[in-house]
Amino acid sequence: MINPNKILLGICLLAIIGCDSIEDKKGRFLLKGNEKLEENDPKSAIVFYNEALALDSAYADAYFNKAMAQLRLHQLDETILDLSKAIQIRPDYFEAIFQRGLSYLDNGEFYKAKEDADRLLQLDANNWKSYFLTGLSQEKLKKFAEALVAFEQASILEPSNSDLLVNQATLLFYQKDFGKAKEIISKAELLNPSEPNLHNLRSMILFEEKDLDGALISVEKAIAFDNRQAYFYNNKGLYLLFLGKPEEAIDLINQSIQMDSKNPFAMRNKGIYYVMQGDKISALQYLKELSEKYPDMDLVQEYYQKAQAL
């Protein structure tokens, strides 16, 4: 005999399942996507975010999280597109604007990054990220004085952030104010002694000051803290060139180029290597184009002339 209570219970369960709202369903897809992202599986995360968006095409958080997953896959155009969709839905979406500005910088769209920085300042002039993005975009636009002011303001708002100090020191390095740059690097080191960029920057200053051994020690510290940065290996290669160790140097420079084939400083260093080897044809192959595209890059004109004189 069928128990009517069981029938009633089944009906109630079906009713509960049937009443599961779109809001609940899309939220679960978002959470599943987040779990996959935490597991470093961005492709699967994107699948879940798309499921959430299929339920609600105006789900700003799903567009944002999907963009962050695409960023992990180095899909910058797709990242920018989805962040723009999130911002279109929520014009005051601060974090989406911030991340889009950073993505514009990575994509070489510096003026668009500056526009997003201006937008952040209008939204929240008391948030360090507004000034951080402003500083980064102004730096890319070669407006170093404006960038320095922005980074200084960001540091006032976020004094425990060592990266902001390293950015200030970098700008001072560009301006050849090595003494002040080193002072700020020391402050950053007190906050975070394992920050690789401060050690790399210190190495660059020491190289400019002709302290080659000190430069080598500092860049090796940078590599010890982060062995994934192509420009660290490139800098170490440069120092080894000037320390009279060309074969060790060229191995590191080539390694850097394999990691990042678009770095003109690595091409410069390879040209310098060939000048030191007396190989005029190979040296000119690298330095002639650099002298035209980057005429103000340190050492380029000097070694282009040396290559021509071989």
150 and 192, same domain (yes or no): no
144 shares a domain with 67: yes
In a domain, 17, yes or no: no
Q: Which long-range contacts (CB under 8 A, 24 or more apart) does 78-83 make?
A: 79/103, 80/104, 80/107
Cβ contact 256:233 at 8 Å: yes
Domain boundary (159, 182, 203) is at 159
Claim to verify: residue 288 and residue 242 sit in the same structural domain: yes
Q: What is the mean pLDDT of residues 189-211?
A: 97
Of 9-18, 27-36, 90-99, 221-230, least confident by mean pLDDT is: 9-18
Total residue length of the chain: 310
Domains in the chain: how many in total? 3
- Over residues 132-185, the pLDDT tens digits come to 999 999 999 999 999 999 999 999 999 999 999 999 999 999 999 999 999 999
Instruction: Examine the domain organization and report whether 155 and 175 are in the same domain.
Output: no
Crossing angle for the helix pair 22-38 and 42-55, nearest 10 degrees? 170
Instruction: Determine the structural domain holding residue 292 and report its residue range.
Output: 229-310
What angle, 0 to 180 degrees and rounded to 10, lies between the N-to-C axes of helices 22-38 and 60-72?
A: 20
| Domain assignment present for 298 | yes
Token couple for 201: 């920057």
Q: Which residues are CB-neighbours of 193 under 8 A, at least 6 positions away? A: none
Q: How far apart are CA 41 and CA 31, in angstroms?
A: 14
pLDDT, mean over the chain: 92
86 lies in the same domain as 140: yes
End-to-end Cα spacing for the chain: 104
pLDDT of residue 14: 44
Do residue 90 and residue 62 come from a single domain?
yes
Instruction: Give the mean model confidence (pLDDT) for residues 203-222.
Output: 97
Domain end: 190, 211, 227, which one? 227
Question: Using CA atoms, how far apart are residues 116 and 81, in angstroms rounded to an integer?
Answer: 14
Are 182 and 268 part of one and the same domain? no
The per-residue pLDDT for range 247-267, each reduced to its tens digit, is 999 999 999 999 988 899 999
pTM beyond 0.85: no
Share of the chain above pLDDT 70, in %: 94
The CATH number covering residue 259 comes to 1.25.40.10
Q: Are residues 269 and 295 in the same domain?
A: yes
